[in-house]
């Protein structure tokens, strides 16, 4: 369960951004979560509802977009999206691969009022 610290950092960013832009509140938060982070969007929303109470982000809606796992083959250079658990090249079947996407967690945009 590492959603709670992540959720707290989202809230911190909301408060900073609202202050920075002279706004009053956050209406919606668009986040992107890599599949390899293991973060559960529903848990983030659950924690957010609780810890955002009484803050500038109370009642804000969280929209989550998943980032798929991306793999690059070190042998043939092929780059592709991977299904969970399958880590060999779709082009040459090599296991000599590196993961280039899916570990990200980022806030895309904040909608403020």
Annotated binding-site members for Ni(2+): 2
CB of 95 to Zn ion, least distance (A): 9
Which residues does the annotation place in the binding site for Zn(2+)?
A: 73, 76, 89, 92
Q: Which is nearer to Zn ion, 94 or 109 (CB)?
A: 94
Q: What are phi and psi of 42, to 5 degrees?
A: -65, -35
Rounded to a whole number of angstroms, the minimum distance from the CB of residue 89 to Zn ion is: 3
CB of 64 to Zn ion, least distance (A): 31
Of residues 12 and 91, the one with the C-beta less far from Zn ion: 91
Residues tagged in the binding site annotation = 2, 73, 76, 89, 92
Taking a C-beta distance cutoff of 8 angstroms, is the pair 32, 105 a contact? yes
- Rounded to whole angstroms, the maximal C-alpha distance in the chain is 55
User: Which residues are at the interface with Zn ion (CB under 5 A)?
Assistant: 73, 75-76, 78, 89, 91-92, 94
Min. distance of Cβ 67 from Zn ion in angstroms? 22
With b meaning 16 or more CB within 10 Å and e meaning fewer, what string describes 18-49? Answer: beeeeeeebeebebebbbbbebeeeebbebbe
Measured distance CA(16)–CA(19) in Å, rounded: 5
Q: Which is nearer to Zn ion, 58 or 75 (CB)?
A: 75
């Amino acid at each position: 369960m590492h959603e709670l610290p992540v959720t707290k950092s989202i809230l911190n960013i909301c408060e900073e951004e609202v202050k920075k832009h002279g706004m009053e509140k956050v209406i919606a938060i668009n986040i992107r979560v890599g599949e390899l982070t293991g973060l559960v969007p529903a848990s983030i929303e659950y924690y957010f509802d609780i810890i955002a109470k009484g803050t500038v982000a109370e009642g804000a809606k969280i929209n989550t977009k998943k980032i798929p796992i991306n793999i690059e083959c070190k042998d043939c250079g092929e780059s592709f999206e991977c299904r969970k658990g399958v880590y060999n090249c779709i082009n040459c079947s090599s296991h000599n691969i590196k993961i280039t996407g899916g570990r990200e967690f980022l806030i895309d945009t904040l909608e403020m009022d």
